[in-house]
Amino acid sequence: MKTSTVRRVGLSVAVAAALTSVAACGGSDDKSEGRAGSAVTKADPVAALLAVQKKTGGANSAKVEGTTTMGTAMSMKQAGALDWSDGVSGSMKITYTGGAMADTMKKAGGDGTMEARYFKDGYAANMGSAMAAQTGGKSWISYSYADLAELGGAAGAAMQDQMSNATPEQGLKSLLASGDVKKAGQEDVRGVPTTHYSGTVDVAELTAKNSELDAGQVAELKKQLGDAGITTEKIDIWVDKNDLLVKKTERGQMKTGELNSTVYYSDYGTKVSVERPPASETIGFKELLKQQQGASGSAS
């Protein structure tokens, strides 16, 4: 595997694993402890979603399953369990089904599937035997958020902040800040009776009026969406009788093409246990870059 290919794969995996977690949970910089008491009257969509935001945020963990397409960059499906009580931890099986990311992994000798494990200070991705053959048997690449912030500058710092504070609330916060949310009816989702809410987020029109976000948080939310090239986004959510998020879909246009995401949540409060990969099978991303830079004289 050429030096440039190893570096490109490593960088692609770093971004892809981060995006997978954010897509599954939704990035959030709200560090408040969301706890809800009894359910509120559902006649007012805004009041209902505020209750869902607090109850879901306070549930701390869930099983997550979904599919995401981000234009020409990637299409993928993911399944696993995540805990967001103190940063993000957990594991996800990720399968890339199309786009540039799938092509990159195939060229590197992979089959398009990898496991990502998330920890408070970073995450690790298992790249399989193709990577191990180039790294002395080390199939895992580990990424610390601090290193990504250092290597990626402002973009890396933003990824560190977003990943460290991801919860499933982001779609709710966007809907509340949009000022455009309505109750769309009652539907069953995978056998669970739910209430369906829908709205369109116009990034330029986001406001703190209904969202309990301050002006700075709304500005950050606008920036996150704007950086992805999103100007409008349609968000639908399905909520069970306990004010917990069961399903979320997001549709919009990004710089790389269409954003299309569907995520299901279940088994809230599930115990999430994740172990760091064996050190003998793991190489840090910074170390990998140094090794490849050192070998660049003999690699073409």
User: What's the gap between Cα 34 and its chain centre?
Assistant: 19
Strand-pairing partners, residue 67, are 77, 262
Distances (CA, A) of 176 to 5, 181, 266: 43, 7, 23
SS3 298: coil
- Specify the pLDDT at position 3: 47
pLDDT given for residue 262 in this prediction: 93
The pLDDT of residue 101 is: 77
Tokens for 299?
């690699």
Alpha helices, H only, the chain: 3-25, 45-59, 99-107, 128-132, 145-164, 170-178, 215-227, 285-294
From the CB of residue 270, how many other CB atoms can be counted at a distance below 10 Å?
15
- Look at residues 84, 86, 89 and name the one whose alpha carbon lies nearest to residue 273: 89
* Domains delineated in the chain: 3-294 (2.50.20.20)
SS3 291: helix
With vertex at residue 104, the alpha carbon angle to CA 103 and CA 105, rounded to the nearest 5 degrees, is: 95
Cβ atoms 19, 155 nearer than 8 A? no
CA-to-CA distance for 116 and 93, rounded, in angstroms?
6
Q: What's the confidence (pLDDT) of residue 32? A: 32
Other Cβ atoms less than 10 A from the Cβ of 182: the count is: 11
How far apart are alpha carbons 133 and 130 in whole angstroms?
A: 5
pTM: 0.78
Given this model, what pLDDT does residue 276 score?
95
Looking at the chain, the number of H-run helices and the number of E-run strands are 8, 12
- pLDDT of the chain, 300 residues: tens digit per residue: 454 555 556 555 655 565 565 566 654 333 333 333 333 334 588 888 889 988 988 899 999 999 988 888 788 899 999 998 887 889 999 888 888 877 877 776 677 888 999 998 888 988 888 778 878 888 898 988 887 777 766 555 656 666 666 667 666 777 777 777 899 999 999 999 999 999 887 655 544 444 455 666 656 655 665 665 666 778 899 999 999 999 999 887 766 678 888 999 999 999 999 999 999 999 998 888 887 666 555 544
Q: What is the pLDDT of residue 5?
A: 53
